């Protein structure tokens, strides 16, 4: 059957629709690193929550030290954390540490370096203007401020500010659980000697790692039988608990005669199509009722096709379900450092290395879909649009940064 | 005591010397994601390891189809994974699937789309030149090629290629185990109401997350007693098992009167110094013999100082110990979108937001060290050299990308 191929964008939409937004769960702040925030974090306390000293020194009334040098009696000692801070009498000083609450009546701090450091009386050699070395309550964050937006990825500073406004837990998106399986009777486990015609299974571990990189959790089913009934039985068994959000397969979908994925899932909700792209033409996607209605994405078996298809279709779908405001890889416009040709009617995703200083990109290993060694050294994809067939050196090209 | 401050680079070298290169450990490939490779991976098999078909179609001698249309007898069927591939007789064709081994005697593949798809005899409507649609053994990787270099961070494609060349396990660097503790009697656990003068503890969870981001494992000791003997006792107890590679503290190191970290570790191997930077002046580092000789880095207690100091001193030390070829954050030169002043004699690290399209950077929240809310929204540090005091709008500035 000949039909016009599906566009990359059409298939992206089909795959994206297979995953609903992930529900939220509450996790302790200390376990939230790398997770995606499900709701805004609103400050319940201000930062700072009270006027405090920016220096180790002496809390004073600015007016009392305007005529420095002066000498003042030291009437209290305020370490950080002291909660019963006595008010400051005009004409006196309190010794104060960084972060300690400014006493009522004080409006400036004289750093210890401008004094003799006295504990009974202090000789102050330099003035401090009103507000000097004082951090005002709410100067950083006011009560009710949104300190983190839903969709934020929680790194160290975000965990810091959430802790600082008093969050013990955070509401984050559940991680989508993805079942990864690769098929093919030519696949052999690493560690076993190869016979001619056999290859080591690499798509499974590669795609599982890609799922985890995208923020999901991966479960690898290896060496699923090539027999359709056994294949379906294994999947039914594994998806019965409802814990799987998406099934990603690789292999078994081309025009060949022995294609277990295609044979098992055709007519069961998965539509097998040709997508106008290279590599990665043969794709499939759909929801399978007899597997609890989970989404299934069938990727081609060539390792590079499989990886590229994951990047183009599955990764953005997982990230969108996680609530990332920007599900796609960051893209830049780079300058092609060589001349390329590209087939008409297909969007090409070519593996490259970007020189960040010159902004020039070059291909690694050529466009063929079996060049896994080159893929492992690439740091970007270069996207060649469907209608572009000749790219002279110097062409400005869309470049996806794979480290971003 | 007044002495000239230590430079940032001097203190970086002191901290870096506290961590030896981490030893290697062997982990299963499927668990190696995000780890740093300890040794080169050398291919024990070629990729592809045998000549194979790039298409579903018919293996032929190119000479036999040069006069297409032609019709040839189909004498064998070669699915992927077939290991007993019969040789091709001149004047015949074998049906072959993508990835299957090319039979001896064949030198080209005719894609099924150029045929009638016959199983007994096949009608071939278009020729295939010698080598067409054939992937040659070793075309991607040859036996003995280095497919991954020591220092590579293992992402999905790297795990793919390692699996493809038959690695069941990989030699990766052990993750440095870092004990994180924050001190200060003003610190309160989230969930408890604040009294005036108290703040929620945020440095501990923030630094623990930063350790994990840098590739280490973090263990958080919270609310360590402010009493010197109890403080030391707690540390002795926790480091007795030899499992801690580095101790990172925050707080307790400024010129204040109640500084447990300084009081406990002075004279015990940690040197407390002033570093010519802002924020983050008061720093300490050294090896403590009575804690098993582990390295100790004492960071200042202000949250922003603490985070900046970690980024400048601890993160590169951890990454260097892990064998990262580039331990530092990626840096770019950006254009300052506003006018700044900076104090002389100190290297400033200011928090900014970089507009990647225009290459312009602007400050978030000002240079003060308590602006944690702003830090959590920043995506870069802007580095102002020690001898620069005035930065007109348009100044080209060194910018560290915190997401990189």
* CB within 8 Å of chain A, chain B residues 90-119: 95, 97-101, 112
Quick check: B197 and A33 CB within 8 A? Answer: no
Domain membership of residue A3 (yes or no) is no
Q: What whole-number percentage of chain B has pLDDT above 70? A: 98
Dist. CA B106–CA B96, nearest whole Å: 11
For chain B, how many structural domains are there in total?
4
Q: For residue B79, how many other CB atoms are within 10 A of its CB?
A: 20
| B196 closest CB neighbour out of A101, A112, A356 | A101
CA distances from B109 to A100, A316, B114 (A): 79, 36, 10
Bond before A69 cis per omega within 30 degrees: yes
Task: Indicate if A353 and A231 belong to the same structural domain.
Answer: no
What b/e sequence results for A312-347 when a residue is b if at least 16 CB atoms lie within 10 Å of its CB, and e otherwise? bbbbbbbbbbbbbeebebeebebbbbeebebeeebb
pLDDT at residue B251 greater than cutoff 90:
no
Pair B382, B337: CB distance under 8 Å: no
Task: Indicate if A308 and A271 belong to the same structural domain.
Answer: yes
pLDDT of residue A82: 86
Find the residue in A nearest to B371 (Cα).
Answer: A140
pLDDT of residue A79: 86
Q: If you average pLDDT over residues A305-333, what whole number do you get?
A: 96
Name the strand (E) or helix (H) holding B348. Answer: strand B347-355
| C-alpha closest to that of A213 among A304, A113, A322 | A322
Alpha carbon dihedral B287, B290, B294, B298, in 10-degree steps, equals -60
Task: Indicate if A355 and A316 belong to the same structural domain.
Answer: no
| C-alpha closest to that of A362 among A320, A321, A334, A390 | A334
Pair A361, A352: CB distance under 8 Å: yes
pLDDT of residue A371: 85
CATH of the domain at A98: 2.170.190.11
- Mean confidence (pLDDT) of chain A: 93
pLDDT at residue A222 greater than cutoff 90:
no
| B157 closest CB neighbour out of A33, A95, A206 | A206
Chain A contact probe: residue of B3, B56, B99, B324 with most A CBs at under 10 A: B99
| A83 closest CB neighbour out of B83, B198, B302 | B198
Chain B residues touching residue A256 (CB < 8 angstroms): 56, 79-80, 97-98
Quick check: A307 and B167 CB within 8 A? Answer: no
Task: Indicate if B203 and B282 belong to the same structural domain.
Answer: yes
CA angle B205, B210, B213 (to 5 degrees): 125
Q: Left if phi > 0, otherwise alpha if psi is -120 to 50, otherwise beta: which for B25?
A: beta
Task: Indicate if A200 and A294 belong to the same structural domain.
Answer: yes
Q: Which residues pair with A216 in a beta bridge?
A: none
- Mean confidence (pLDDT) of chain B: 93
pLDDT of residue B256: 58
pLDDT tens digits for range B48-59: 999 999 988 999
Which domain-ending residue is among B118, B149, B173?
Answer: B173
Bond before B175 cis per omega within 30 degrees: no
**Is the torsion defined by CA of A330, A336, A342, A344 positive or negative?**
positive
pLDDT tens digits for range B87-124: 999 999 999 988 899 999 999 999 999 999 999 999 99
Q: If you average pLDDT over residues A179-202, what whole number do you get?
A: 88
Find the residue in B nearest to A30 (Cα).
Answer: B205
pLDDT of residue A244: 97
| A206 closest CB neighbour out of B163, B200, B258 | B163
Quick check: B196 and A50 CB within 8 A? Answer: yes
Q: Determine contact: B159 vs chain A, CB below 8 A.
A: yes
Write down the residue that tokens 């070298």 correspond to.
B13
Dist. CA B2–CA B188, nearest whole Å: 35
> Domain span at residue B68?
52-135
CATH of the domain at A382: 2.40.340.10
Task: Indicate if B67 and B192 belong to the same structural domain.
Answer: no
pLDDT at residue B319 greater than cutoff 90:
yes
Chain B contact probe: residue of A40, A86, A156, A196 with most B CBs at under 10 A: A156
Q: Which residues pair with A72 in a beta bridge?
A: A122
Task: Indicate if B220 and B341 belong to the same structural domain.
Answer: no
Q: Determine contact: B257 vs chain A, CB below 8 A.
A: yes
Pair B43, B145: CB distance under 8 Å: yes
pLDDT tens digits for range B75-84: 999 988 888 8
CA angle A66, A71, A73 (to 5 degrees): 115
Task: Indicate if A100 and A212 belong to the same structural domain.
Answer: no
Domain membership of residue B1 (yes or no) is no
**Structure-block tokens of residue B45:** 């098999």
CA distances from B14 to B180, B287, B310 (A): 19, 10, 14
Quick check: B197 and A163 CB within 8 A? Answer: no
* CB within 8 Å of chain A, chain B residues 260-289: none
Quick check: A187 and B81 CB within 8 A? Answer: yes
pLDDT tens digits for range A355-391: 988 999 999 987 777 788 999 999 999 999 999 999 9
- The alpha carbon of residue B94 is apart from the nearest alpha carbon of chain A, in Å, by 13
Pair B252, B259: CB distance under 8 Å: yes
Q: What whole-number percentage of chain B has pLDDT above 90? A: 80
Domain membership of residue B344 (yes or no) is yes
Bond before A279 cis per omega within 30 degrees: yes
Domain membership of residue B194 (yes or no) is yes
Pair B281, B269: CB distance under 8 Å: no
**Structure-block tokens of residue B318:** 């951890």
Q: If you average pLDDT over residues B221-245, what whole number do you get?
A: 88
- DSSP calls for B225-236: -SSHHHHHHHHH
* Chain centroid, CA B358 distance in Å: 27
| C-alpha closest to that of B328 among B217, B246, B404, B245 | B404
Q: If you average pLDDT over residues A120-128, what whole number do you get?
A: 96
Chain B residues touching residue A98 (CB < 8 angstroms): 254, 256, 301-302
What pLDDT band is residue A22 in, cutting at 50, 70 and 90? very high
| A30 closest CB neighbour out of B158, B168, B220 | B220
Domain membership of residue A198 (yes or no) is yes
Pair A352, A367: CB distance under 8 Å: no
Dist. CA A133–CA A60, nearest whole Å: 11
3 state DSSP class of A73:
strand
Which domain-ending residue is among A124, A152, A173?
Answer: A173
pLDDT tens digits for range B159-173: 999 999 999 999 999
Task: Indicate if A188 and A307 belong to the same structural domain.
Answer: yes
Which domain-ending residue is among A259, A291, A321?
Answer: A321
Task: Indicate if A317 and A216 belong to the same structural domain.
Answer: yes
Neighbour-count burial of B299, counting CB atoms closer than 10 A to its CB (0-12 exposed, 13-18 middle, 19+ buried): buried
Q: If you average pLDDT over residues A270-277, what whole number do you get?
A: 96
pLDDT tens digits for range A126-160: 999 999 999 999 999 999 999 999 999 999 999 99
Dist. CA B268–CA B229, nearest whole Å: 13
pLDDT of residue B306: 95
What pLDDT band is residue B257 in, cutting at 50, 70 and 90? low
Which residues 6+ apart lie within 8 Å of A257 measured at CB? B56, B77, B79, B95, B97
User: What backbone phi and psi angles, to 5 degrees, belong to B170?
Assistant: -135, 150
Q: What whole-number percentage of chain A has pLDDT above 70? A: 98
Q: If you average pLDDT over residues B185-203, what whole number do you get?
A: 88
Residue spans of alpha helices (H) in B220-314: 228-239, 260-265, 303-309
Q: SS3 sequence, B164-196?
A: HCCCCEEEEECCCEEEEEECCCCEECCCCCCCC
**Structure-block tokens of residue B321:** 């110990």
Q: For residue A84, how many other CB atoms are within 10 A of its CB?
A: 10
Domain membership of residue B278 (yes or no) is yes
pLDDT tens digits for range A227-263: 889 889 999 999 999 999 999 999 877 655 568 899 9
pLDDT of residue B379: 94
Task: Indicate if B102 and B230 belong to the same structural domain.
Answer: no
Alpha carbon dihedral B232, B234, B236, B238, in 10-degree steps, equals -150
**Structure-block tokens of residue A36:** 């995606």
**Is the torsion defined by CA of B316, B317, B318, B322 positive or negative?**
positive
- The alpha carbon of residue A156 is apart from the nearest alpha carbon of chain B, in Å, by 5
3 state DSSP class of A25:
strand
| Structure-model confidence comparison of residues B376 and B225, the more confident one | B376
Dist. CA A38–CA A172, nearest whole Å: 5
Pair B348, B366: CB distance under 8 Å: no
Find the residue in B nearest to A160 (Cα).
Answer: B206
pLDDT tens digits for range B279-315: 988 999 999 999 999 999 999 988 999 999 999 999 9
Chain B residues touching residue A154 (CB < 8 angstroms): 209
pLDDT tens digits for range A60-116: 999 999 999 999 999 999 988 888 989 999 999 999 988 899 999 999 999 999 999
pLDDT of residue A1: 45
Q: Which residues pair with A148 in a beta bridge?
A: A41
Dist. CA B97–CA B95, nearest whole Å: 7
3 state DSSP class of A265:
helix
Q: Determine contact: B371 vs chain A, CB below 8 A.
A: yes
Pairing of strands A169-173, A24-28: antiparallel
pLDDT tens digits for range B12-47: 999 999 999 999 999 999 999 999 999 999 999 999
Domain membership of residue A276 (yes or no) is yes
Task: Indicate if B195 and B308 belong to the same structural domain.
Answer: yes
Dist. CA A120–CA A76, nearest whole Å: 9
pLDDT of residue A404: 57
Quick check: B403 and A404 CB within 8 A? Answer: yes
Q: Determine contact: B255 vs chain A, CB below 8 A.
A: yes
Pair A351, A53: CB distance under 8 Å: no
Dist. CA B171–CA B152, nearest whole Å: 11
| B255 closest CB neighbour out of A112, A148, A160 | A112
CATH of the domain at B252: 3.40.980.10
Domain membership of residue B353 (yes or no) is yes
CATH of the domain at A163: 3.90.105.10
| C-alpha closest to that of A195 among B351, B273, B81, B352 | B81
């Amino acid at each position: 059957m000949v039909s016009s191929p599906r566009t990359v964008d059409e298939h992206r939409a089909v795959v994206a629709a297979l995953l609903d937004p992930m529900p939220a769960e509450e996790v302790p702040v200390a376990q939230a690193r790398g997770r995606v925030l499900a709701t805004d974090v609103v400050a319940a306390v201000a930062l700072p929550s009270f006027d405090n000293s920016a220096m180790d020194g002496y809390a004073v009334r600015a007016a009392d030290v305007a005529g420095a040098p002066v000498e003042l009696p030291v009437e209290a000692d305020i370490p950080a954390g002291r909660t019963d801070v006595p008010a400051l009498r005009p004409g006196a000083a309190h010794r104060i540490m960084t972060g300690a609450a400014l006493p009522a009546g004080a409006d400036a701090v004289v750093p210890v370096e401008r004094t003799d450091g006295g504990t009974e009386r202090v000789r102050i050699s330099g003035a401090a203007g009103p507000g000097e070395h004082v951090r005002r309550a709410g100067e950083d964050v006011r009560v009710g401020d949104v300190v983190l937006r839903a969709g934020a990825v929680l790194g160290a500073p975000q965990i810091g500010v959430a802790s600082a406004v008093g969050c013990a837990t955070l509401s984050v998106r559940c991680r989508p659980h993805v079942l990864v399986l690769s098929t093919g009777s030519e696949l052999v486990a690493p560690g076993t000697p190869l016979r001619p015609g056999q290859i080591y299974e690499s798509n499974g571990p590669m795609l599982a790692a890609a799922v985890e990189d995208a923020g999901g959790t991966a479960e690898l089913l290896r060496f699923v039988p090539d027999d359709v009934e056994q294949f379906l039985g294994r999947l039914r068994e594994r998806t019965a608990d409802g814990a799987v959000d998406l099934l990603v397969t690789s292999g078994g979908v081309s025009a060949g005669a022995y294609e277990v994925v295609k044979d098992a899932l055709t007519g069961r909700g998965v539509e097998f199509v040709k997508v106008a792209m290279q590599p990665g033409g043969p794709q499939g996607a759909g929801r399978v009722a007899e597997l609890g209605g989970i989404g299934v994405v069938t990727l081609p078996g060539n390792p590079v096709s499989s990886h590229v298809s994951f990047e183009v279709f599955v990764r953005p779908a997982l990230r969108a379900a996680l609530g990332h405001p920007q599900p796609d890889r960051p893209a830049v416009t780079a300058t092609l450092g060589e001349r390329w040709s590209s087939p008409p009617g297909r969007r090409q995703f070519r593996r490259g290395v970007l020189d960040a200083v010159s902004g020039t990109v070059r291909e690694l290993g050529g466009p063929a879909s079996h060049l896994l060694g080159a893929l492992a050294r690439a740091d970007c994809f270069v996207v060649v649009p469907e209608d572009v067939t000749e790219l002279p050196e110097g062409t400005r090209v869309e470049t996806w940064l794979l480290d971003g």
